[in-house]
Amino acid sequence: MTLKQLENLVKIDEDMTNPENGTYYNKRTIEQLLEYGLILIDKPPGPTSHEVVAWAKRILEIPKAGHSGTLDPQVSGVLPLGLGEGTKALGVLLMGPKEYHALGRLHSLPSKEKLEQILELFRGEIFQKPPQRSAVVRQTRSRTIYELELLEQKERLVLLRILCEAGTYIRKLYYDMGELLGPGGSMIELRRSRVHQFNENNLVTMHQLADAYATWKENKDDSKLLKIIRPVEETLSEIKSVVIRDSAIDSMCHGAQLAIPGVLQISQYLEKGDLVGIYSQKGEIVALAESLLSENEIKEQTKGYAFQTKRIIMKPNTYQKIGVQVHLQKSKKLFPKGLLFAIILGVVSGPIFGIILYEYGVEDQLVYVDGTSLSIVTEKTNFTLGEPISITIVNSGTDELKFPDASYGLIIKQLDSIPIFSPTAAQVISNLDSHEDVTFVWDQIKNNGDQILEGTYKITSKAITLDGSIIEKIVIIHVFK
């Protein structure tokens, strides 16, 4: 099943997703849903909204949960609960309308025609000052009543259905209607029947939640709980969407802004300033962001920032960094076709060496960025003797990089010593376009008959930028027995 918001998107580019990273949004385990889940609670009259959240946390044995839109203690109805990181998405629900069914008493007995005239005055934009018993500053504010329907009138008792903007005070609405009629009016009972796109269908009580969780814990039967906990992505079905590459996800989770090369699909009619959900190719919500460009601008441009991150939802390291594993569709080969180059290191028959790689002297740049950026990428951090080691040089920026001769590209040497490896000029390409890469394979064999000693080695890559300056990336390798 595809999320509503991910249907009919505009394709910007194509890429594959790594099945080893992340989880398809509709195939999460209970443990994962407890971190990225949504529950639609049928709040009973009596407890506060915060008490309902506290009960849910105790029942589900989780440290973090939250609700969207506070209901007064005596009000019942739809109360969305976010679980774990899912709480960060609940703010989107405040952007949509809320629906209430309210029973009130008017202190006079108006005719149905008179009552309809009064109701017409309250449709559209109105101005309200919160009641004296309210949790906010009492200042006049504008609110919109989208629909106001008289469901039933029985003498002075009036039952209304109200579809309104978030933050509308329904009891104040009855009070103001009563003032217009003369003697006054007051609200008796209130139930919230809709929050944005969520209505009373599929609501669950606290007792049902407790029973489903106990069934899962005691009998390992998750069927009930899977029907109750929904993917948090359902919260975002009414805002526009963007799907991004796997390689861009972790950098966003660490606070990087999303550039155009990381975008795969966008919603139709996207406009500058729109709030969007940023999704993985598996449908997982990564972050909320504001669009800096329109649909047409994104399709026409090839570089630059496209979205400003507003709220990160996915936990860092859910997807591997590009520095741990690289999967690029475009790739330039450093060598002539069919030639596999080996960097000479180690001893064929001798002690087994391990290798630890770590960053040295510069900040990690293994993310796609706007502008100029060069990255050195290895597939993992620990190796043993005889295992080939792939070293990839990546243009991780949006500007072209040039490698004019053998002093650029890749150089390996022991610290404070002469180089032990540098490719020949014939093996160096002239340039790398944005997101293109070149790969060396480092075999642990003899190096011109000289044994590589235990110690620390430096891998350096240099390139020339469009303005003629030199950019350099360094990685340190420690070889030990």
Same domain, 347 and 411: yes
Same domain, 277 and 353: no
Same domain, 305 and 249: yes
Mean pLDDT split into 10-residue runs, the chain, 481 residues = 90 92 96 98 97 97 94 96 96 94 92 91 87 60 93 94 93 90 90 97 96 96 97 97 94 87 95 97 97 95 89 92 41 36 31 31 39 70 61 78 74 65 50 76 51 68 80 74 63
Q: How many domains does the chain have?
A: 3
**Within a domain: residue 450?**
yes
Same domain, 368 and 466: yes
Can you say whether the dihedral through the CA atoms of 14, 85, 293, 468 is positive or negative? Answer: negative
281, 243 contact by CB (below 8 A): yes
**Within a domain: residue 67?**
no
Tokens 């109805």 belong to which residue? Answer: 77
Q: What is the 3-state composition of the chain as percent helix, strand, coil, each rounded to the nearest 5?
A: 20, 35, 45
Give the per-residue pLDDT at 385.
58
**Within a domain: residue 334?**
no
Q: What is the dihedral of CA 211, 215, 217, 222, to 10 degrees?
A: -110
Same domain, 108 and 182: yes
Query: What does the alpha-carbon distance between residue 190 and residue 206 come to, in Å, rounded to a whole number?
Result: 20
Give the per-residue pLDDT at 342.
32
Same domain, 376 and 272: no
**What is the CATH classification number for the domain harbouring 421?**
2.60.40
Give the per-residue pLDDT at 71.
94
Residue type, 254: H
**What is the CATH classification number for the domain harbouring 292?**
2.30.130.10
166 closest CA partner among 191, 188, 124, 196: 196
The verdict on whether 176 is a catalytic residue reads: no
Query: 13, 15, 42, 72: which one is catalytic?
Result: 72
By residue range, what is the domain housing residue 138?
98-195
**Within a domain: residue 102?**
yes
Q: What is the dihedral of CA 167, 168, 172, 176, to 10 degrees?
A: 140
Tokens 């007064």 belong to which residue? Answer: 72
Select from 195, 221, 255 the last residue of a domain: 195
Same domain, 246 and 123: no
Q: Is 177 helix (H, G, I), strand (E, B) or coil?
A: helix
Give the per-residue pLDDT at 451.
54
75 closest CA partner among 83, 66, 63, 67: 67
**Within a domain: residue 175?**
yes
Query: What does the alpha-carbon distance between residue 287 and residue 273 come to, in Å, rounded to a whole number?
Result: 16
Give the per-residue pLDDT at 366.
43
**Within a domain: residue 428?**
yes
DSSP string, 338-360: T---EEE-S-SSS---EEEEEE-
Query: What does the alpha-carbon distance between residue 182 and residue 256 come to, in Å, rounded to a whole number?
Result: 59
Same domain, 179 and 128: yes
Same domain, 430 and 367: yes
